[in-house]
Structure 1
Amino acid sequence: MNYEDLAKLLKVMSDKSRLEILDLLSCGPMCANDILMHFKFSQPTLSHHMKQLKESGLVTTWKEGTKVIYANNLEVISPLMAMQNVLFTPNQNCVCKK
């Protein structure tokens, strides 16, 4: 993951509601109605947040019957966490040593 990719993901995550949604999904996959029960905003507002999270790749979806199920996408989140560790941990490859 490069700085540009990281910046795009962090921009999506810069909204407190989206951070809370990601936290909820860390407990396991959920449908929109289950997610919405934790918030005081409308279904269209949730749809906006979920669209941002899905388009960024942070969240993945699939259908179960008529429900859309949302889950954290660990294929994106794991490299994001690794990149943050690299940024905040002193190491031999630090930009300042180049």
Structure 2
Amino acid sequence: MIKILYIGRHAEILETVVRLLNVNEEWLGIGASTDEEALEMFSKYDFTLVLLGCGIEEESEHLLITAFRNLKPDIVIIQHYGGGSGLLRNEITSALEVG
């Protein structure tokens, strides 16, 4: 099972992306809306991939990426700005092939 952490600041988008992630039976999508929640989830689960949604401030993004890489240097981290389930699936599969 591929565990994916989606971090997003907008509740409706977060809910939608997590729902889309969990449509794929091989993926477990978990969402977080705050830095604290994201860091807590990251320490709890062995994530393969982190998706950074829109609305995350540059300072928070830097803090999160640094923390994630310190805990798991090989973690795959990509930006996701929306675009529907097909784009999301392609972004993830491409990132996992490269990462």
TM over 0.5: no
Q: If each structure's strand is expressed as a fraction of its own residues, which one has the higher value?
A: 2
Who wins on radius of gyration, i.e. which is larger?
Answer: 1
Q: TM-score, normalised by structure 2?
A: 0.25
Normalized against structure 1, the TM-score is what?
A: 0.25
Q: Which structure's residues are more often helix, by fraction?
A: 1
